[in-house]
A and B are shown apart, each in its own frame.
Chain A
Amino acid sequence: MNPDLSTPSFHSADFEFAQDLLEGVSSAWDRFASELKPAILSRLLAQGATNADAEEVLGLVMEKLWAQKKLAAYTGSGPLQGFVRTMASNVWLEYLRKHRRMIPATNLSREDDPSDPMEGLACDTASPPQESPLAELLRDALTHALLVVDAEALLVMRLSLLQDIKQRDLCALWGGCHEGTISRKKQEAMEQIRDATLAYISEREPTLQISWQDLIEACGEGAEAILGPSV
């Protein structure tokens, strides 16, 4: 993958670091151990992993980055740390889902449920494992949040931030309101999106303790880790 050198946010030093890691340069591996491993571990611990889980997931992250060459998807469009931390969040989510499925057979029979527990297992295993469960979870959460956010606040925010409509023009469209009203609506919309997104994730994945900061990193600087290089 050739990096886009014309992009002003191209992280050339991180990109070279990643290339060195892929080529197995030992000084790069030392640097990985001293800089990126702690960043991965602290992210995992913050997202609810125990020390033992974090160490195990770290091993799985390393396996993905090198054995499966997922690091090759990194193009330097954001800091490498964001990429590997997002990769770690994704692997942690896979890990949580996998372990949640490993329920002892005796726990599958419920007195009030006459159905065959094996049928339940068959249904469960019928869903193929997702390549990037974190990306899908974030997409579903954000799509849900956009549906529940106040429509007018969302419109103000989109017009202002995505369509570059000036604040004073928005005031004119909203019956000559004060600029502060427009600013408040934008802030309100973003806060509603944040709260609804995190609430959705917390309901769907109660053990994944993802913060808004993590989520923004996963959707931005770390997106290549879960979506592959952008075209």
Chain B
Amino acid sequence: MNAEHDLSILTSFLRRLSPEVEGHDAGDPPEEVAARLDNFATGGADAKERASLAELLKRHPEWLRYLGRKIRSNAA
């Protein structure tokens, strides 16, 4: 099993069938969530906050792109 290959295939498949599941960028998250994601993106989240955000993002994968952008811009 190649995780990268498999995930990419499954994600494309789900995007075609259920865009809301692995889907599109719904824009920026609400302010309070954005603040938590910004903090996470700078490495400021402790284990409890990471677990809580992970659960939140599992329910709202549409906010992952926002988080990805923040992490990349901090790392640059």
Rounded to whole angstroms, the CA-CA distance of A157 and B22 in the bound complex is 13
CB-CB under 8 A for A161 and B71, given A146-B58, A212-B1, A223-B13: no
Mostly, the B contact residues are helix
A158 within 8 A of B: yes
A–B complex contacts, Cβ < 8 Å, 24 sampled: A139-B13, A143-B14, A143-B21, A151-B51, A151-B55, A155-B58, A159-B67, A161-B4, A162-B11, A162-B64, A163-B64, A163-B71, A163-B72, A165-B72, A169-B75, A175-B46, A189-B3, A190-B1, A193-B7, A193-B10, A194-B1, A216-B6, A216-B9, A223-B12
A227 within 8 A of B: yes
CB-CB under 8 A for A139 and B65, given A173-B41, A173-B45: no
Rounded to whole angstroms, the CA-CA distance of A155 and B54 in the bound complex is 6
B1 to chain A, nearest CB (A): 6
**B residues in contact with A194, CB < 8 Å:** 1, 6
B21 to chain A, nearest CB (A): 6
B7/A157 in contact, CB under 8 A: yes
Interface centre among A149, A154, A158 (most CB of B within 10 A): A158
Interface mask (B65-76 → A, CB under 8 Å = 1, otherwise 0) = 101100110010
**A residues in contact with B9, CB < 8 Å:** 216, 219-220
Chain A residues with a Cβ under 8 A of chain B: 135, 138-139, 142-143, 146-147, 149, 151-152, 154-155, 157-159, 161-166, 169, 172-175, 186-187, 189-191, 193-194, 212, 216, 219-220, 223, 227, 230
B51/A227 in contact, CB under 8 A: no
CB-CB under 8 A for A152 and B10, given A135-B17, A173-B40, A186-B3: no
CB-CB under 8 A for A151 and B10, given A165-B68, A191-B1, A223-B16: no
**B residues in contact with A189, CB < 8 Å:** 3
Interface centre among A135, A157, A162, A223 (most CB of B within 10 A): A162
Mostly, the A contact residues are helix
B71/A165 in contact, CB under 8 A: yes
Chain B residues with a Cβ under 8 A of chain A: 1, 3-14, 16-18, 21, 40-41, 43, 45-47, 50-51, 53-55, 57-58, 61, 64-65, 67-68, 71-72, 75
List the 3 closest A-B pairs by CB distance, nearest first: A163-B68, A219-B13, A151-B54
Interface centre among B6, B14, B61, B68 (most CB of A within 10 A): B6
A67 to chain B, nearest CB (A): 26
**A residues in contact with B16, CB < 8 Å:** 223, 227, 230
A157/B3 in contact, CB under 8 A: yes
Known: A151-B55, A191-B1. 4 other contacts (CB 8 A): A139-B14, A151-B57, A161-B8, A190-B3
A219/B3 in contact, CB under 8 A: no
